[in-house]
Structure 1
Amino acid sequence: MFTHKPSGFPALSFSNTQTFEHFHSINCNGRLIDLSAPKIMGILNLTPDSFSDGGKFNNEKSALEQTEKMLKDGAEIIDIGPQSTRPNAEFLTSEEEIRRIGNIISLIKKEFPEALISLDTFYSETVKFGFNEGIDLINDISGGQYDDKMFETIAETKLPYILMHVNPTYKTMHDKIQFEDIILSENRYFSEKTAELLKLGVKDLILDPGFGFGKTVEDQMKMIDEVQYLGFGKFPLLIGISRKSFIYKPLGKSPLDINEETQKLHLKVLQQGAKILRVHDVLEAKKTLDRFVRS
């Protein structure tokens, strides 16, 4: 064990009367977070090579300023990413991730104690480092497949774990797979992985369908349309479609020019029971969330 330091899209066709309602809460270091009201997770990339904001927030001053802005704009969770996972991104070791993170987690916890901090990594050693710095959630794009010690480390931390659907190796994570039925394939994957995690004693699980990772545009639009069927309502769903290419490429736009289309899709997944939106543009997502709550 290690020690913890305290601290042209489809028209909308759903109304709130059709929303799939499930009660979910997660235990973040003894702080019970009620997900009956959806939350916004703001993305803080500490990377020089992320596809839309690389190099903007990879020092302590800019990271703290961006964190403050996202919290003021309505984020409740800050997702810290030391490594880009876009296609052809630079591959970092865990040691390099930890060096890149530096003191940023502890500085954010000190300056903004109300913020929940999520760490985006597929390395168990980076998780251990983040745990000792005071993180509240673990966001693993690999589903435990890129580090064979990840699941046992997650169990040791007792922190909530975000389980994403993705191809089985780092080299193939962006290879387009032809799924016979994407929803069925995802549910098989989630069923197997959650059973393994629950057996290890991991109690707080969040499912991420893995938009932008090895899926066709058609499959991703099907996922949007059928979000309500993912995971059978057993676990809360996180949706990360912010600035993803399946939205902007078919429209011939840039990642920074698709806010209207993205918010329509955000509203659609909220109406189907999504509990966390992982976003770059917090203020715009908060407007969508408020619209959903009022409807």
Structure 2
Amino acid sequence: MNQRPDFCKRTYEFGSGTKLELGDRTLIMGILNATPDSFSDGGRYTNVEAAVAHAIAMVEDGADILDIGGESTRPGFEPVSAEEELHRILPVIRAVRQALPHIPLSIDTYKAETARQALEAGAHIINDIWGLKGDPNMAAVVAEYRCPVIINHNRHARDYNDLVPDVLADLQGSVSLAQAAGIEEDQIWLDPGIGFAKTHEDNLEMLGRLSELSALGYPVLLGTSRKRFIKQTLNLPVDELIEGTAATVVLGIAYGCQVMRVHDVKAIKRAAIMADAIVYRS
């Protein structure tokens, strides 16, 4: 008989009535890209008014968290300076914070100075695609602000000996960096890094073995939305990948993932509610 995943229970109170609870249902993180070159919606929300309108729409559709990014991380992306990244995101963070004061905001960055200023501007969570390894000062910033941090798996090269054990070991290395910096255990979330330093086959294998990641005892965020491996599997354009994304989300919930980072909030929220009715039953 299949067993219910052992979901992590966490409660975060960020002040001003902003609260986040993990462990009772799947949380939906809506993606808000303040970038001109993101792979599926680049340039659509660089204007502050457009960004706020999209943020409000995602919350109305069921988003529990909003993830704001100012640098594309699509394959082949061009890095931007912290100054440019801050120029893009700070006005959006402030405006969204004012429009949606009770919604937790995540900042998608691997730069410590960007993270610091984003937290000062009203962000609550750090989402680091380099798992605290991209900037030697990032772990100290997270520890100072006592904020949740999403540790994403990534590598500069695909040089695995054994994919899943190596991914888990890399993530444990990031957790060790967090612990050494004084980041509390209940502030750490993990992300398997689907699409980062992984082939099409690697992504599928990682998804099929997500229970090994959730077994580490940390909340797991899954970010598969509209990614290339879904496009390749279905042979469809990027704007027709909702069903493929939903399939990965439902699988992730069954394997113990607790937060889903997505573009198409309304559809994925519905899929998550249905999966939760099965997986989260007492």
- TM > 0.5: yes
- For structure 2, the 5+ residue unaligned runs are none
Pair 1:25-2:26 in alignment: no
Could you tell me the TM-score, scaled by structure 1's length?
0.88
Equivalent of 2:78, from 63, 66, 90? 90
Counterpart CA distance in 2 for 1:185 and 1:225 is 15
Counterpart CA distance in 2 for 1:280 and 1:248 is 15
Equivalent of 2:207, from 216, 221, 224? 224
Contact 2:109 2:129 in 1 (8 A): yes
Contact 1:118 1:136 in 2 (8 A): yes
Deviates most, 206-215 or 146-155: 146-155
Counterpart of 2:21 in structure 1 is 34
Code of the aligned partner of 2:3: Q
Counterpart CA distance in 2 for 1:111 and 1:247 is 34
Equivalent of 2:35, from 44, 47, 54? 47
* Percentage of identical aligned residues: 33
Q: CA RMSD in A?
A: 1.6
Alpha-carbon deviation of 1:95? 0.8
Give runs of ≥4 in structure 1 deviating > 6 Å: none
Contact 2:125 2:147 in 1 (8 A): yes
Counterpart CA distance in 1 for 2:180 and 2:12 is 18
Pair 1:194-2:175 in alignment: yes
The DSSP-based 3-state class of the residue aligned with 1:18 is coil
Code of the aligned partner of 1:103: P
Counterpart of 2:249 in structure 1 is 266
Could you tell me the TM-score, scaled by structure 2's length?
0.92
Alpha-carbon deviation of 1:162? 0.3
Residue by residue, what CA displacement relative to the aligned partner does 1:213-240 show, whole Å, maximum 9, x if unpaired? 1101111111111101115341000000
Counterpart CA distance in 2 for 1:126 and 1:233 is 29
Contact 2:224 2:262 in 1 (8 A): yes
- For structure 1, the 5+ residue unaligned runs are 1-14
Aligned length: 273
Contact 1:191 1:231 in 2 (8 A): no
Counterpart of 1:5 in structure 2 is none
Superposed, 1:109-148 pairs within 5 Å as 109-148=97-136
Deviates most, 68-77 or 177-186: 177-186
Counterpart CA distance in 2 for 1:183 and 1:131 is 33
Residue by residue, what CA displacement relative to the aligned partner does 1:91-144 show, whole Å, maximum 9, x if unpaired? 211011111123211211111112110000111010111111111100010112
Deviates most, 245-254 or 90-99: 245-254
